[in-house]
Homo-oligomer: A and B are copies of this chain.
Amino acid sequence: MRIALDAMGGDYAPLETVKGAIEAIGENKNIRVILVGKEELIKEELLKYSYDVDRIEIKNATEVIEMDEKSSPTAAVRAKKDASMNVALEMVKNKEATACISAGNTGALMTASQLKLKRIKGVLRPAITTVFPANDNKHIVLLDAGANADCKPEYLDQFATMANEYAKVLLNIESPRVGLLNIGEEDGKGNELTKAAFYLLKENKYIDFRGNIETREMTNGSVDVVVTDGFTGNIVLKTAEGTVHFMKNIIKDGVNKSLLAKIGALLMSSVFKEMKRQSDSSEYGGALFMGLNGISIKAHGNSDSKAIKNAILVGNKFAENNFVESLKKVIGGENENS
């Protein structure tokens, strides 16, 4: 599979993006990476590595959409036609690549992905998936993670159908268990949106619906997919991030204050490493823009080479599994231009 990587996207591009591409082709022999961006800069980075030259290509793109782009995402995407993320997405559109990976500006990437790839016919609202860690090294797919701040019940119903297909591929589960994120587990709990969505989900023939689920219970692994509106999904992600940060700070402060604790922390380093690994978003290979007529994956802005590599591997996995075709089957349409 040929994967187009926005080599200029992310806080540590092109250093970590190029390194991630090299790592990805080292890990999976079926992958070829097209590094999209400023040719001279990419060539310079590539000099650092020895690699299978047949499996790394460069596609020159003269512009870059900055992480802190001053203009609106839409304006930036339209103004910089030759921006690396635009060119990478164009390659997916033209079937020159099977997936686009970018750690660049989220808003711009979302806009560009929709403009270039268009939504699949029948998709009410494209959305952002993310993967949330659960106990025992399990993972939960969360949709929508932030694309649609205001949702209708039918959107949530369709998010469930799409996230279900996503979980099948990503988690290798035949029949994922789907839950509706809510503030109580009993039927009839929640706000107007979740109350109405509950009844649609109960009737959704594509999914194994397990009812309402509370965030407190998300990590116990009782479901594989959690559906919510983009506002709530984003709040969940950022609350979890903030809480992890808060706890790490307490540990760090305590260790700095006491020599005994410092020695203790050294002895516990394997545990803290595991904690970092399990609470680290770079393990999960990025967020997919769901509902589009092609695969576009957003890696975290602060991605290191490992996060980029994982995003490439995930992109490749979805491409190999003909994910977009599977989505079209359950949504029942072609792309919106057809």
Contact = CB atoms under 8 A, between A and B. Distances in A.
A150 interface: yes
B274 A270 contact: no
A53 interface: no
B263 A275 contact: no
Contact count band on A: 35 or more
B231 A149 contact: no
A75 interface: no
Say how many copies of this protein the assembly contains.
Answer: 2
A183 B231 contact: yes
A171 interface: no
23 contacts: A133-B246, A150-B192, A183-B231, A183-B238, A190-B231, A216-B242, A216-B245, A232-B232, A235-B239, A239-B240, A243-B243, A250-B278, A254-B268, A254-B271, A254-B274, A255-B271, A258-B270, A260-B268, A261-B270, A263-B264, A264-B265, A264-B267, A268-B268
Nearest to A243: B243
A255 B268 contact: yes
Interface residues of A, dominant DSSP: helix
A216 B268 CA distance: 27
Q: Interface centre among A135, A230, A231, by most B CB within 10 Å?
A: A231
A79 interface: no
A276 B41 CA distance: 49
A235 B183 CA distance: 6
Contact of A190 (B134, B149, B245): B149
A242 B234 CA distance: 16
Task: Name the 5 nearest CB pairs between A and B, nearest first.
Answer: A264-B267, A254-B271, A264-B268, A149-B191, A243-B243
A268 B268 CA distance: 9
Contacts of A218: 239, 242
